[in-house]
């Protein structure tokens, strides 16, 4: 079946929407490139808060619609369920892109990590019940393992599709109540290397708290990528050369770090950590030596040191200066850290 025929048929049977179909609810977020609301359908006021999400975006909305359409067809389970996107130009204001998703749930990983109960609050969400087991490092490790597994599984889906997200952070990981798994949101800074969409990195889109040290995802010597869909023979070669997916792996490694160390979960402490790591030439082992004596991060090291230190081994294989020395998402999933039977029931492989 030809991919374009399939896409056309799918589009034909999918409902289309326009501005007046939506009733705006609570504002969920506001960035430099758009505002996000919870909304419901005007003719179908199902829940009173609305079971959809609307992003009114600036010019970058066009790229975000493209990325979401691609994810829908290629790796739907990786990201929030995309419903529809369109150009809204009926009012006198500048044209906006409207993007609609299914409302996945109230909590991002940031919200959950800020909670004192973390990671037990996530265990309850994933299993849908309170576990009557003793609390302790082993159990915390198992929950964190499950969350990391789900994030890497979603990332592997994106990367296998040729998409690099470039803004992986806890704020952009949402807990989907229906599937009881974590999904990725916010493809506004993403790039699709197989067809060259948004190929030129826009550094100002990158969040310095979670960005890998490389300024450019592709080497600046790489000739410009094709700007229209073309035969893709060239792209896999570029992918192999530059390993742009490893940018996301670095960010995911920082999320792993924050989950293991409660003391590194706030913005300020993460910024301070980044400064310390830079001073250690991005060598986590050297960083560990400088902070270990202080004791405040001890519990996190203990967690990562369980089972012969495989958690620490995984972390140091993700947060590295050189992109090519970082594991791919697929290789990280095959890491012995995920080998044990420890993963929570209902976890990412179902
Ligand atoms: P921004 O460009 O403002 O960062 P995001 O796409 O990250 O836009 O969305 C902003 C916020 O809206 C998210 O942090 C999340 O709280 C909420 N949100 C976005 N998409 C969904 C969704 N599908 N379901 C539930 N909440 C969502
Ligand atoms: Mg966001």
How many angstroms separate the CA atoms of 311 and 317, rounded?
10
C-beta of 185 in contact with ligand 1 (< 6 A): yes
The Cα 316–Cα 237 span in angstroms is: 27
250 vs 233: CA distance, rounded Å: 27
**pLDDT tens digits, 322-344:** 999 999 999 999 999 997 665 66
Give the pLDDT band of residue 13 (cuts 50, 70, 90).
Answer: confident
CA-nearest residue for atom 6, ligand 1, is 186
Assembly ipTM: 0.99
How confident is the model over 131-160, as a mean pLDDT? Answer: 94
pLDDT of residue 227: 44
Mutation choice for ligand 1 from 185, 188, 190, 207, CB with most ligand atoms inside 8 A: 185
* b/e per residue 24-33 (b: at least 16 CB within 10 A): ebeebeeeeb
Name the residue among 160, 148, 162 with its Cα closest to residue 191: 162
pLDDT greater at residue 328 or residue 59: 328
- Cα separations in angstroms, 194 against 49, 159, 161, 236: 39, 11, 8, 7
Tokens found for residue 23: 């009733």
Percentage of the chain surpassing pLDDT 70? 83
Question: What are 273-297's pLDDT values in tens digits?
Answer: 999 999 999 999 999 999 998 888 9
* Average pLDDT along the chain: 87
Q: What pTM did the predictor assign? A: 0.90
185 CA → ligand 2 middle, Å = 7
Contacts of 76 (CB under 8 A, 6+ apart): none
Instruction: Label residue 85 exposed, middle or buried (CB < 10 Å: 0-12, 13-18, 19+).
Output: buried
List CB contacts of 308: < 8 A, sequence separation 6 or more.
Answer: none
Answer with the residue of higher pLDDT: 74 or 231: 74
Per the CB < 8 A criterion, the answer to whether 206 and 168 are in contact is no
Quick one: which atom of ligand 1 is closest to the CA of 57? 2
**231 C-alpha to center of ligand 2: Å?**
32
What pLDDT is stored for residue 264 in this prediction?
A: 97
Confidence band of 321 (pLDDT split at 50, 70, 90): very high
Q: How far is the CA of 174 from the centre of ligand 1 (A)?
A: 8
Q: What is the predicted pLDDT for the residue at 92?
A: 74
Rg (CA), the chain: 21
d(CA 52, ligand 1 centre) in Å: 11
Please give the angle made by the CA atoms of 329, 331 and 333, to the nearest 5 degrees.
70
pLDDT at site 200 = 57
pLDDT-derived band at 349, boundaries 50, 70, 90: very low
Report yes or no: 195 and 232 within 8 Å, Cβ to Cβ.
yes
pLDDT at position 30 over 80: yes
Mean pLDDT of 313-321: 98
Residue with CA nearest ligand 1 atom 5: 186
Instruction: Find out whether the beta carbon of 31 lies less than 6 Å from any atom of ligand 1.
Output: yes
Residue 31 in contact with residue 19, Cβ under 8 Å? no
């Amino acid at each position: 079946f030809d991919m374009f025929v399939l896409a056309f048929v799918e589009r034909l049977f999918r409902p289309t929407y326009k501005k007046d179909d939506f009733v705006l609810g609570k504002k969920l977020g506001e960035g430099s490139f758009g505002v996000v609301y919870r909304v419901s359908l005007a003719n179908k006021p199902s829940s009173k808060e609305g079971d959809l999400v609307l992003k009114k975006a600036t010019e970058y909305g066009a790229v975000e619609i493209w990325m979401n359409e691609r994810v829908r067809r290629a790796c739907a389970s990786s990201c929030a369920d995309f419903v529809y996107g369109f150009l809204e130009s009926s009012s006198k204001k500048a044209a906006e892109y409207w993007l609609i998703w299914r409302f996945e749930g109230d909590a991002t990983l940031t919200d959950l990590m800020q909670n004192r109960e973390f990671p037990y609050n996530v265990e309850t969400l994933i299993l849908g019940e309170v576990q009557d087991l003793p609390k302790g490092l082993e159990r915390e490790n198992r929950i964190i393992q499950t969350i990391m597994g789900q994030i890497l599984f979603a990332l592997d889906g994106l990367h296998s599709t040729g998409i690099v997200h470039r803004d992986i952070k806890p704020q952009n990981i949402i807990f989907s109540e229906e599937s009881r798994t974590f999904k990725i949101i916010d493809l506004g800074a993403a790039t699709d290397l197989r067809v060259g969409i948004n190929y030129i990195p826009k550094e100002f889109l990158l969040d310095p708290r979670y960005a890998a040290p490389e300024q450019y995802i592709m080497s600046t010597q790489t000739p410009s990528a094709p700007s229209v869909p073309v035969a893709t023979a060239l792209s896999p070669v570029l992918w192999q050369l530059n390993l742009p997916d490893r940018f996301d792996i670095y960010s995911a490694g920082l999320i792993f770090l924050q989950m293991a160390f409660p003391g590194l979960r706030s913005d300020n402490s993460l910024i301070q950590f980044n400064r310390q790591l830079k001073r250690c030439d991005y060598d986590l082992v050297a960083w560990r030596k400088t902070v270990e004596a202080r004791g405040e991060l001890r519990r996190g090291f203990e967690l990562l040191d369980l089972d012969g230190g495989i958690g620490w081994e995984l972390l140091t294989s993700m947060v590295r200066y050189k992109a090519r020395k970082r594991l791919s998402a697929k290789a990280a999933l095959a890491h012995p850290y995920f080998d044990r039977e420890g993963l929570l029931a209902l976890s990412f492989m179902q």
